[in-house]
Structure 1
Amino acid sequence: MIQRILPGKRYSEAVIAQGLMFCSGMVPENTDADATAQTQNVLQQIDQLLASQGTDKSRIVDATIYLADMADYNAMNEAWDAWVAEGHAPARATVEARLADPHWKVEIKVVAALSQN
C-alpha cells in the first residue's frame, strides 16, 4: 500500500511505502536568514513532518542536501551536526544545485523508517 501525505497537484509532502517515509525536499521559510538559520528551519520542518507520522530523526536512513552555494557547506553542517541524532547519522549526500528560489540557501530531502509499534 502507498500512502500520500498532504498530496497536491504537483507533489506530496511525503509518501509512505514499504515501511519507509520518503519526504519531499524541504525548503526554508526564513529566506532572509543565513545558511545556518535556514538549515535549522528546514530541520525543524523535517522533525514536524516525521512526528506527524510517528517517527523521528533517529530513524532517517538517507538524506540528500542541496546547497545553492558550496561555500555554505560549513554553515549548513553547523546546524546539521547539532541536530542529527547521536549514533544515528544517516547515509548522506550534499551537492550544489540551483534551487527554485534564489533566496533559498538549502533544501533537504530525507527518507526515514517508520517506527514499529
Structure 2
Amino acid sequence: MSIERIGSTERMSKIVKHNNTIYLCGQTACDEAWDIAEQTQRCLQKVEDLLSEAGSSADKLLSVTIFIRDMKDFAAMNAVWDAWIANKPKPARACVEAHMARPNILVELCVTAAQ
C-alpha cells in the first residue's frame, strides 16, 4: 500500500494519506495574538482547507484531538467547536490540557479523516 505525503519538510508532512485515511499535522493559529475563540476558528478553517486539498472534507472526520493551553478556555473553545460541528457528522474527540510549543498558542488540533 502506498503512502502519499503532501507538504513535506525536513521535519514533517502537512498531510499524509494511507489506506484511504488522511492524517493532518497539528494545526495552530497563524496569529498568536488572537484569543481562544479566534484561534479555534482559524484552526478549524485550516483543517477544512487541508482536508479539501487531500480530497476529503469535514463530513468525513474520524477523530480529532484538541490540545488547549489552559482548561479555563474549554468553554470558549467548545462554543466555537459546537457551532462548527453542528451540521456535520460527529467524530471521536478528545480534549486535553497541554504545554504548547510557544506560550501564545492556545489551541492545537490533530485530525484523522476518511478520504
**TM over 0.5, shorter chain:** yes
Matched, 1:72 2:94: no
The runs of 5 or more residues in structure 1 that have no matched partner are: none
Matched, 1:58 2:59: yes
Distance 2:86 2:50 in 1: 16
Q: Deviations over 1:50-87 (max 9, x none)?
A: 01122110100000000000111011111111111525
Q: Cα distance 1:45–1:90, how it changes in 2: closer, same or farther (>3 A)?
A: same
Contact kept in structure 1, 2:61 and 2:112, CA below 8 Å: yes
Distance 1:23 1:68 in 2: 20
Matched, 1:110 2:108: no
Greater alpha carbon shift after TM alignment, 79-88 vs 7-16: 79-88
1:30: which partner in 2? Answer: 31
Contact kept in structure 2, 1:63 and 1:109, CA below 8 Å: yes
The runs of 5 or more residues in structure 2 that have no matched partner are: none
* Displacement after TM superposition at 1:14 (Å): 1.4
Matched, 1:20 2:26: no
Contact kept in structure 2, 1:14 and 1:22, CA below 8 Å: yes
Identity percentage of aligned residues: 38
TM value normalised by structure 1: 0.94
Alignment of 1:38-57 (within 5 A): 38-57=39-58
Distance 1:7 1:81 in 2: 31
Instruction: State the one-letter code of the partner of 1:38.
Output: Q
Contact kept in structure 2, 1:66 and 1:106, CA below 8 Å: yes
Contact kept in structure 1, 2:14 and 2:25, CA below 8 Å: yes
CA RMSD, 1 decimal = 0.9
Q: Cα distance 1:85–1:2, how it changes in 2: closer, same or farther (>3 A)?
A: farther
